[in-house]
């Protein structure tokens, strides 16, 4: 049975865009806003959100071309394999992607779950005796909540793709509605002097601003990640050649507008010197704008948004081991599909289990930087270079039904941007990602030699 026959094409443009947007938002922006303000020393934090948006938009052009050309389960796994040649370098590159996904995908899910747990403390601390009991768990509170929420997400995803699409629309409506409510709070309490308070020294473009911009953009880019989620679900998309690019650009442009407006709204109500130290920045904002009784509701809505992001990310990543197993590049058990619901159930459950383990081992801040460092070179830069290789082929017009505007400018900007982000993640994440890549190459070569695959097949 072919991949197309195994999986059901049940996602339209609305469902796909919703899945992208709920993964992009999640808990990310509500957690990183204080870090971004602190790095930029005031309202120039808006530059970091704009820089992240520009990188996402140019990189989205790459994803749109590749997703429309190869609408299959697995996204980057398929793109890297085909762009570099399935019988040669593409085999190594796709293996390195599945290798890093073994770490990266659980890290992404764990970061969302840990963010959920951290933010839930605002509500739990107001929960009377029950809240007091839970907080007695101390450092283990975040781990217990994170593991529990991952189990709940796997349960929600254990169903047909058509039902998942409907659930995603509900999550998407709540996400957009929550942010619009926050923006309304800022608009009705707008204070230009507070928003554009450059007394922290950021009114001029000095080298310190640019240095801070690098560190702040690491955080904002993390909050944009997810605009490509639909590419992992290519085999389950209706009319993918048109709907994949549309879903990518609609989600990036829509979320960018919401993020910039939300950041300005928060600065309009909460002075930036206070905001940069806040643990529950949005809850604090709602308390000031609408009163303390509304802050709890806002926190619950944010937690629901975080749940939606976990839902979308877990769905997309569960298709990557499935695609590799179908290709014979991963354990064959991961290619199994539920007999009636027609989704890769083994891959989904295994991913959830790995994410639980990661949530028990790492902290949120270290997870964010590790995620970006691991993805920059193989996935983002590797894909961009692979797309250039596809453009150079004689059949490029037939292979690429969607063509980006101003090619190759978006590709050049994206490559430069991802290299800059990689260098800004810090020494430890960089070394760890390079070590993981080197280990992956050695494992691939050992496996290829044993199985007499490229580059050892000529010796047969």
- For residue 61, how many C-alpha atoms fall within 13 Å in the half-sphere facing its CB? 20
Closest by Cα among 290, 226, 375, 304 to 30: 304
57/137: higher pLDDT: 57
Contacts of 163 (CB under 8 A, 6+ apart): none
Closest by Cα among 37, 36, 42 to 197: 42
Contacts of 193 (CB under 8 A, 6+ apart): none
Which domains are delineated in the chain?
3-78+110-363 (1.20.1740.10)
DSSP 337: -
Closest by Cα among 280, 246, 319, 285 to 75: 319
What's the pLDDT score for residue 4? 45
Give the model confidence (pLDDT) of 20-49 as tens digits: 999 999 888 888 999 999 999 899 999 999
Strand locations in 176-218, DSSP E? none
What's the pLDDT score for residue 367? 66
Residue 220 clears pLDDT 90, i.e. is over it: yes
> Residue 73 — φ and ψ, nearest 5°?
-65, 140
Please provide the DSSP assignment of 41-98 as one string: TSTTHHHHHHHHHHHHHHHHHHHHHHHHH---BTTHHHHHHHHSIIIIIHHHHHHHHH
pLDDT above 90 covers what percent of the chain? 70
The Cβ of residue 287 has, within 10 Å, a number of other Cβ atoms equal to 18
- State the average pLDDT over residues 387-413: 93
What is the spatial distance between Cα 415 and Cα 409, in angstroms, rounded to a whole number? 10
What's the pLDDT score for residue 148? 95
207/377: higher pLDDT: 377
What's the pLDDT score for residue 369? 72
125/163: higher pLDDT: 163
pTM of the entire predicted model = 0.90
The Cβ of residue 318 has, within 10 Å, a number of other Cβ atoms equal to 27
Contacts of 128 (CB under 8 A, 6+ apart): none
DSSP 9: -
Give the model confidence (pLDDT) of 107-140 as tens digits: 889 988 988 998 898 888 887 777 777 777 877 8
What's the pLDDT score for residue 215? 84
* Residue 11: strand, helix, or coil: strand
Lowest mean pLDDT among 87-91, 342-346, 395-399: 395-399
Give the model confidence (pLDDT) of 338-368 as tens digits: 999 999 999 999 999 999 998 888 766 566 6
DSSP 457: G
What's the pLDDT score for residue 346? 96
- Which run of H or of E encompasses 304? helix 292-317
- Alpha-carbon Rg of the chain, whole angstroms? 22
């Amino acid at each position: 049975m072919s991949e197309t026959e195994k999986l059901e094409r049940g996602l339209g443009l609305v469902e796909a865009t919703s899945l992208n947007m709920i993964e992009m938002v999640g808990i990310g922006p509500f957690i990183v806003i204080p870090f971004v303000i602190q790095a930029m020393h005031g309202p120039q934090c808006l530059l970091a959100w704009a820089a992240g948006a520009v990188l996402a938009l140019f990189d989205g052009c790459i994803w749109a071309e590749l997703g429309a050309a190869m609408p299959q389960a697995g996204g980057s796994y398929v793109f890297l394999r085909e762009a570099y040649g399935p019988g040669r370098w593409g085999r190594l590159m796709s293996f390195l992607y599945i290798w890093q996904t073994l770490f990266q995908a659980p890290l992404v899910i764990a970061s969302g779950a840990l963010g959920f747990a951290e933010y839930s403390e605002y509500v739990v601390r107001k929960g009377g005796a029950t809240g007091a009991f839970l907080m007695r768990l101390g450092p283990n509170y975040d781990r217990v909540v994170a593991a529990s929420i991952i189990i709940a997400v796997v349960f929600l995803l254990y169903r047909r793709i058509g039902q998942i699409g409907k659930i995603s629309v509900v999550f998407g409506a709540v996400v957009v509605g929550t942010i619009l409510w926050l923006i309304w709070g800022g608009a009705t309490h707008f204070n230009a002097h507070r928003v554009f308070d450059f007394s922290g020294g950021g009114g001029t473009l000095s080298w310190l601003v640019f240095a801070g911009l690098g560190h702040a953009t690491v955080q904002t880019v993390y909050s944009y990640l997810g605009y490509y989620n639909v590419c992992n679900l290519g085999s389950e998309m209706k009319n993918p050649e048109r709907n994949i690019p549309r879903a990518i650009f609609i989600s990036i442009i829509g979320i960018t507008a919401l993020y910039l407006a939300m950041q300005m709204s928060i600065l309009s109500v909460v002075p930036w010197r206070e905001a940069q130290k806040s643990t529950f920045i949005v809850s604090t904002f709602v308390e000031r704008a609408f009163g303390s009784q509304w802050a709890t509701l806002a926190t619950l809505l944010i937690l629901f948004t975080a749940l939606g992001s976990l839902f979308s990310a877990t769905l997309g990543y569960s298709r990557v081991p499935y695609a590799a197993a179908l290709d014979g590049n991963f354990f064959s058990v991961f290619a199994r599909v539920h007999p009636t619901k027609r989704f890769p159930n083994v891959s989904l459950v295994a991913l959830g289990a790995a994410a639980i383990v990661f949530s028990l081992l790492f902290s949120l801040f270290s997870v964010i930087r590790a995620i970006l460092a691991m993805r920059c070179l193989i996935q983002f830069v590797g894909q961009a270079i692979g797309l250039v290789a596809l453009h150079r082929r004689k059949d490029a017009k037939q292979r690429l039904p969607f063509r980006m505007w101003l090619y190759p400018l978006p590709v050049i900007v994206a490559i430069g941007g991802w290299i800059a982000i990689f260098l800004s993640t810090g020494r430890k994440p960089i070394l760890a990602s390079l070590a993981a890549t080197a280990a992956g190459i050695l494992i691939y070569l050992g496996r290829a030699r044993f199985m007499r695959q490229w580059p050892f097949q000529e010796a047969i």
